[in-house]
C-alpha cells in the first residue's frame, strides 16, 4: 500500500521518536465534561447523531459468531485451570494464561481450585481485567475486594501497561510503528464501531457517548520475515474518512499497545488500518483462508506491567506466545 494512499485516506503526520506531544490527545476527558455538565443530558431532537467510520459486521458473521458462542459455552462449562496455567501468584493476586475459546467467568470460577494460598476466600475473587472469548493470554485475578478496587483504579487511570500480539491478513503496511486515535461507541443495540476523534463526547442513540480510543502498533513480521523497527512513528487521528480497504494476502504480525481499554479496541483498529485479524469475522477478518477455516480470532494478551497494588514493587507478567506468532501462516493454535 503506497504512502500516498495512506495520506489520502487519513490525516497522518510523523515525528521522531524523541519528539514529545505536550498536549494530550483528548484535552478534556469525558469525566471532566460530565463534571462540568458539558455532555448533553437529552438526545438531540433532530437526531443529529455522529456517524460511525467503520463498517458494520458482515452478514455472515451472525451465524458464525452464534456457532462459536455455543461451542465456547460447552467448552467453558467443562474447563478447569491447572497449575501450569498460573503465571504468577502471591497472597493478594494471581495471573493466569487464559486459553482461546474459553469465557473469562469460567477461568475465574476455577481459580480457587488451583491457588497455593488456601486462606483466600473464593467469594472475594475478582477479574481485574477481561479478555474476549477468543483472546488468549494474561488475565489478572485478585483475591480480595480491597485489592480489586486498587487494580480497577490503576486500569482506569492507565497505570497498567498492556501489550498484545495479533496475526492479521492484508497488505504489508508502509509503516513500522503507528498510533491510531479515534472515537469508540455503539448505538443501543448495535455493534461496536470506530468514530471520528472529533465525535468524542457526543451522544449516541440509546444515550451512550462516544469515548476516546488510542492504540499504538508495531510491525513484528510480514510473511514470517521479521522487520526492523524505524525511529519514525506515524500518528493517525481519525476524521471522517473510512479506514483502509482490506486488500492483500500478506501475513502481518503486529504488537499492540492500547492506551485506553475499550471493548474490541485492537480488533477495531486493526480493521481500520486495513489489516483485520485472521479469524475475526465480526470485523471482516479472514474466516476461510488458503483452504483452511479459522475458529476464532488470533489475538493474544502478551504482557501486563504494573506496580503491585500492595507492595508497590514493579511487576511484569508475560504469557507464553502461541505458535502462530511465527507468522508463517501455517499454525492456527
Residues marked active site are found at 132
Are residues 97 and 138 in contact, defined by beta-carbon separation less than 8 angstroms?
yes
Are residues 215 and 269 in contact, defined by beta-carbon separation less than 8 angstroms?
yes
Q: Which residues contact 56 (CB under 8 A, 6 or more apart)?
A: 190, 191, 193
Write the DSSP assignment of 26-57 as a string of letters.
SSS-HHHHHHTT-S-SS--TT--PPPPSSPPP
- Say how many residues make up the chain: 333
Measured on CA atoms in the order 169, 170, 172, 177, is the torsion positive or negative?
Answer: negative
Residue/partner pairs of 225-231 with CB below 8 Å, 24 or more apart: 227/176, 228/176, 229/176, 229/177, 230/176, 230/177, 231/16, 231/17
Closest CA to 256 of 315, 301, 213: 301
What separation in angstroms does the CA of 236 have from each of 139, 188, 189? 30, 28, 28
Helix (H) or strand (E) holding 258: strand 250-258
Are residues 200 and 212 in contact, defined by beta-carbon separation less than 8 angstroms?
yes
Gap between the Cα atoms of 30 and 201, Å rounded: 6
Write the DSSP assignment of 55-120 as a string of letters.
PPPPTHHHHHHHHHHHHHHHHHHT----GGGEEEE-SSEEEEEEPTT--HHHHHHHGGGT-S-TTS
Amino acid at each position: 500500500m503506497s504512502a500516498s494512499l495512506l495520506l489520502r485516506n487519513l490525516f497522518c503526520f510523523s515525528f521522531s521518536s524523541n519528539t514529545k506531544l505536550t498536549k494530550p490527545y483528548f484535552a478534556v476527558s469525558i469525566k471532566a465534561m460530565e463534571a462540568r455538565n458539558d455532555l448533553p443530558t437529552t438526545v438531540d431532537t433532530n437526531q443529529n447523531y455522529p456517524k460511525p467510520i467503520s463498517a458494520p459486521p458482515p452478514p455472515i458473521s451472525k451465524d458464525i459468531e452464534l456457532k462459536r458462542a455455543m461451542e465456547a459455552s460447552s467448552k467453558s462449562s467443562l474447563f478447569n485451570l491447572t497449575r501450569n496455567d498460573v503465571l504468577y501468584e502471591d497472597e493478594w493476586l494471581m495471573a493466569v494464561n487464559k486459553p482461546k475459546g474459553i469465557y473469562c467467568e469460567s477461568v475465574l470460577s476455577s481459580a480457587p481450585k488451583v491457588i497455593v494460598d488456601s486462606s483466600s476466600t473464593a467469594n472475594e475473587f475478582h477479574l481485574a481485567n477481561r479478555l474476549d472469548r477468543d483472546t488468549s493470554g494474561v488475565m489478572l485475578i485478585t483475591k480480595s475486594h480491597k485489592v480489586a478496587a486498587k487494580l480497577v483504579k490503576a486500569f482506569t487511570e492507565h497505570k497498567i501497561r498492556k501489550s498484545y500480539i495479533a496475526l492479521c491478513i492484508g497488505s504489508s503496511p508502509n509503516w513500522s510503528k503507528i498510533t491510531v486515535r479515534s472515537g469508540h461507541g455503539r448505538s443501543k443495540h448495535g455493534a461496536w464501531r470506530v468514530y471520528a476523534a472529533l465525535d468524542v463526547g457526543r451522544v449516541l442513540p440509546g444515550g451512550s457517548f462516544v469515548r476516546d480510543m488510542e492504540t499504538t502498533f508495531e510491525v513484528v513480521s510480514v510473511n514470517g520475515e521479521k522487520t526492523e523497527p524505524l525511529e519514525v512513528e506515524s500518528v493517525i487521528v481519525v476524521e471522517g474518512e473510512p479506514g483502509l480497504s482490506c486488500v492483500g494476502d500478506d501475513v502481518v504480525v503486529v504488537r499492540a499497545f492500547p492506551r485506553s481499554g475499550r471493548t474490541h479496541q485492537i480488533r477495531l483498529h486493526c480493521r481500520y488500518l486495513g489489516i483485520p485479524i485472521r479469524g475475526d469475522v465480526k470485523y471482516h477478518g479472514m474466516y476461510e483462508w488458503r483452504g483452511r477455516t479459522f475458529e476464532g480470532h488470533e489475538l493474544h494478551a502478551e504482557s501486563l506491567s504494573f506496580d503491585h497494588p500492595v507492595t508497590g514493587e514493579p511487576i511484569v507478567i508475560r504469557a507464553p506466545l502461541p505458535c502462530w506468532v511465527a507468522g508463517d501462516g501455517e499454525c492456527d493454535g
